[in-house]
Structure 1
């Protein structure tokens, strides 16, 4: 799997979320940005486990992604973050990203991987990024695919 392409495809999938009226559209990047335009989703650290199947047939990536929301109003910001972290609904990152799995029998992320799963949310807290503070959380995504590419 080509890690940069996988990261970019996850960010494209995340752009499908629909936030409540009056909120800016979620911005998304497949890399850790120097500065964010909130609300912002980005892919961060990547752990690679090689050779999950013989003959380099499968590698596994665990990608830690972050979503950061501005803190103009503490309660409202956390409500937006909660909607993004929910397991379903129009603002759900899990729903948007897992839609990129494709139909049964299709490859995930437009052919870049065999499958993916948003595994968990962790580290719901205040984040310092650049020179600003945001409320945010991490999503851990598992991606499996051909290790020979």
Structure 2
């Protein structure tokens, strides 16, 4: 798996969420940005377990992504974040990202991986990013794919 391409493809998939008009449009990057335009989703830390199958046939990566929402109004910001973290619905990051799995038998993320799964949400709290405080959370995504590419 080419990690940079996988991270970019996850960010592309996340762009499909539809937020209420009052929340603005979700901006997304496959990397940790210097500054964010809120609300913002980005791929952060990556851990990789190599050689899960013989002959480098399978690697397993966990990508920790963050979503940050501006806190102009704390209650509204948390409602927006809650919608993004929901398991379903038009604003659900889980739904948007897992749509990039492809149809049964197809490769995920446009051919970059064998499969992916949004495993959990964690760290729902206040985050400081470049001196600005946001309400946010992390999503942990498991991606499996060929270790020979």
Residue 23 of structure 1 deviates from its aligned partner by 2.2
| Alignment correspondent of 2:30 | 30
Residue 24 of structure 1 deviates from its aligned partner by 1.2
Runs of 4+ in 1 over 4 A off after TM superposition: none
- What 5-or-longer segments of structure 2 have no aligned partner? none
Question: Normalized against structure 2, the TM-score is what?
Answer: 0.99
| Alignment correspondent of 1:122 | 122
Residue 22 of structure 1 deviates from its aligned partner by 2.4
CA–CA separation in structure 1 for the residues paired with 2:88 and 2:20: 14
| Alignment correspondent of 2:5 | 5
Counterparts in 2 of 1:61-80, with a 5 A limit?
A: 61-80=61-80
The total of aligned residue pairs comes to 149
Residue 21 of structure 1 deviates from its aligned partner by 1.9
Alignment RMSD? 0.4
- What 5-or-longer segments of structure 1 have no aligned partner? none
